[in-house]
Amino acid sequence: MRTASQRRADVDVYKIGGQRDLDDHVLIADDDRSHQFMPGDQYVLFLKWSDSLGMFYMSCPCDEYKVVGNKLDSKDRTDVAKLQHGRSLENFVADLKRNAK
């Protein structure tokens, strides 16, 4: 768990995927179960901290939801993600707070 002095308003989040130049061609590795992060868009992310890497990471696409209007959007195909897809952000956050106690 991170202490209050370690918390920041902004964090870098790394995802697997993207483009890599391999000299004779460009390898594109995009995960169709995950959203492409865009500036200005809002997301709910479940992040894990790695002491050894010194960074936050998401272990799977089920840890990521895009907020569209007031609803959650998930591209992941797991049962958990399917249950949350289309759910109101307000109800989702209320359930998280209630279950965190």
Q: Rounded distance, CA 39 to CA 42, Å?
A: 8
**3-state secondary structure string across the chain:** CCCHHHCCCCCCEECCCEEEECCCCEEEECCCCCCCCCCCCEEEECCEEECCCCEEECCCHHHEEEEECCEEECCCCCHHHHHHCCCEHHHHHHHHHHHHC
**Which domain range does residue 48 map to?**
11-100
Q: Rounded distance, CA 35 to CA 38, Å?
A: 9
Does residue 56 form part of some domain? yes
Does residue 78 form part of some domain? yes
pLDDT for the residue 7: 57
Does residue 4 form part of some domain? no
Does residue 5 form part of some domain? no
Does residue 40 form part of some domain? yes
Does residue 3 form part of some domain? no
Q: Rounded distance, CA 99 to CA 95, Å?
A: 6
pLDDT at 66 over 60: yes
Q: What is the pLDDT of residues 89-101, one digit of tens each?
A: 999 999 989 988 7
Q: What is the pLDDT of residues 68-84, one digit of tens each?
A: 999 999 888 888 888 89
> Could you tell me the pTM of the whole model?
0.67
Structural domains in the chain (count) = 1
Does residue 33 form part of some domain? yes
